[in-house]
């Protein structure tokens, strides 16, 4: 059985069909941001999106999250039921509210969803502990490090239990060590609470470490260039994974797909 057939058997959570998006600049010039995007994301699947800067990754995530309209095509998110958010988003820029404490931030979506206080309390406690923020639960964002603030964001996104979690370079602004620690936390959270996750990153190690599949977007216009299955065993550990021979092969393959786009337009003259 081919990979394509296997993935058809998984129940589809997000179906994206023939998505197009253009932007018009002030001088009337057209930027074709996304062309003919077709994707099926399975229930509980962890999918990363990589591609050169400006290839449309954020635009794609924003359309899926409902922050932006497509020009044509459709995005369908199969909902698990009422009283839950379709999507929850973690951005690279910090998206915590500065006037709320860590635990109030984690519980914010649950309040909006009118989850009863007692249940809210236990969900908040669970996720605050999971991301190691127990001692800082009453702290305000200004009293936390950048890594801790992103932990609050990640905990809030999982606590909302949305149909789909969208993350746009959530660790892009963090130092390498903090980034590794947070990747490990996302791996553990995801193992325990299999959400459907779409994760944008420009970091190849991060994409391989976290994902079941990696979507490679080509630049100008953004289109699906390749879809790579990450056939590394789970549960995974951020560091020990890297000594796996398959890891190196995947890295090389991704880099071969990306290098021309990243180097610029010289690919066209080859
Ligand atoms: N609001 C906007 N107006 C005009 N052009 C935009 C806008 N948002 C994004 N773009 C353009 O669309 C393309 C894709 O952008 P983006 O999705 O942010 O890329 P990525 O996240 O992959 O770096 C880029 O060429 C960018 O300049
Ligand atoms: Mg972006």
End-to-end alpha carbon distance in the chain:
36
Q: Is the CB of 37 under 6 A from ligand 1?
A: no
The DSSP output letter for 65 is: T
Residue nearest atom 10 in ligand 1 by C-alpha distance: 23
| Per-residue pLDDT at 264 | 64
Q: Is 218 in the pocket of ligand 1 (CB under 6 A)?
A: no
Q: Within the chain, which residues score under 70 in pLDDT?
A: 1-10, 264-270
Distance from the CA of 165 to the center of ligand 2, in angstroms? 16
Question: Which domain, by its residues, includes 9?
Answer: 1-78+200-270
Residue 88 lies in a domain: no
Q: How far apart are CA 216 and CA 228, in angstroms?
A: 8
Residue 51 lies in a domain: yes
Whether 211 maps to a domain, the answer reads: yes
How far apart are the C-alpha atoms of 57 and 54, rounded to whole Å? 7
CA-proximal residue: ligand 1, atom 9 (nearest):
59
Query: pTM value?
Result: 0.92
The position carrying tokens 């074709």 is: 32
**Of 12, 10, 48, 14, whose CA–CA distance to 210 is shortest?**
48
Residue 165: its pLDDT value, please? Answer: 96
Kindly report the CATH number assigned to the domain that includes residue 221: 3.40.50.300
Ligand 1 pocket: which of 56, 216, 219, 261 to mutate (most atoms within 8 A of CB): 56
Has residue 64 been placed in a domain? yes
191 lines ligand 1 (CB under 6 A): no
Cα(52) to centroid of ligand 2, in Å? 9
Domains contained in the chain, number: 1
Q: How far apart are CA 16 and CA 71, in angstroms?
A: 13
pLDDT of residue 270: 36
pLDDT, position 198: 98
Phi/psi of residue 74, each to 5°?
-145, 155
The answer to whether position 16 is within a domain reads yes
For residue 61, the ligand 1 atom closest to its alpha carbon is 17
pLDDT in tens, 152-175: 999 999 999 999 999 999 999 899
Task: Tell me if 158 is assigned to some domain.
Answer: no
Residue 58 near residue 224, CB atoms below 8 Å: no
State the Cα angle at 174 between 168 and 176, rounded to 5°: 115
What pLDDT, on the 0 to 100 scale, is given for residue 265? 42
- Tell me which of 32, 52, 54 to substitute to probe ligand 1's pocket, judged by most ligand atoms within 8 Å of the beta carbon: 54
What spacing in Å lies between the alpha carbon of 262 and ligand 2's midpoint?
14
C-beta separation of 230 from 254 below 8 A: no
Q: Is residue 179 part of a domain?
A: no
């Amino acid at each position: 059985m081919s990979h394509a057939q296997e993935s058809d058997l998984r129940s589809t959570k997000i179906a994206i069909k023939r998505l197009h998006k253009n932007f018009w600049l002030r001088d009337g010039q057209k930027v074709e941001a996304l062309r003919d995007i077709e994707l099926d994301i399975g229930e509980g699947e962890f999918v990363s999106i990589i591609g050169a800067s400006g290839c449309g990754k954020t635009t794609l995530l924003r359309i899926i999250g409902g922050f932006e309209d497509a020009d044509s095509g459709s995005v369908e998110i199969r909902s698990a039921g009422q009283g839950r958010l379709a999507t929850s988003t973690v951005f690279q820029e910090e998206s915590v509210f500065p006037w709320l404490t860590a635990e109030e931030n984690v519980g914010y979506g649950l309040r909006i969803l009118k989850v009863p206080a007692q249940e809210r309390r236990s969900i908040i406690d669970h996720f605050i502990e999971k991301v190691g923020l127990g001692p800082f639960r009453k702290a305000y964002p200004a009293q936390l490090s950048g890594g801790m603030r992103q932990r609050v964001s990640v905990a809030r996104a999982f606590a909302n239990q949305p149909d789909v979690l969208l993350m746009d370079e959530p660790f892009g602004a963090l130092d390498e060590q903090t980034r590794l620690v947070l990747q490990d936390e996302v791996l553990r959270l995801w193992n325990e609470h299999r959400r459907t996750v779409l994760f944008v990153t420009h970091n190849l190690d991060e994409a391989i470490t976290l994902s079941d599949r990696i979507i490679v977007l080509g630049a100008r216009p953004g289109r699906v260039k390749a879809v790579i299955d990450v056939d590394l065993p789970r549960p995974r550990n951020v560091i020990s994974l890297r000594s796996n021979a398959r890891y190196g092969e995947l890295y090389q393959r991704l880099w071969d797909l990306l290098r021309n786009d990243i180097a610029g337009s010289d690919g066209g003259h080859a």
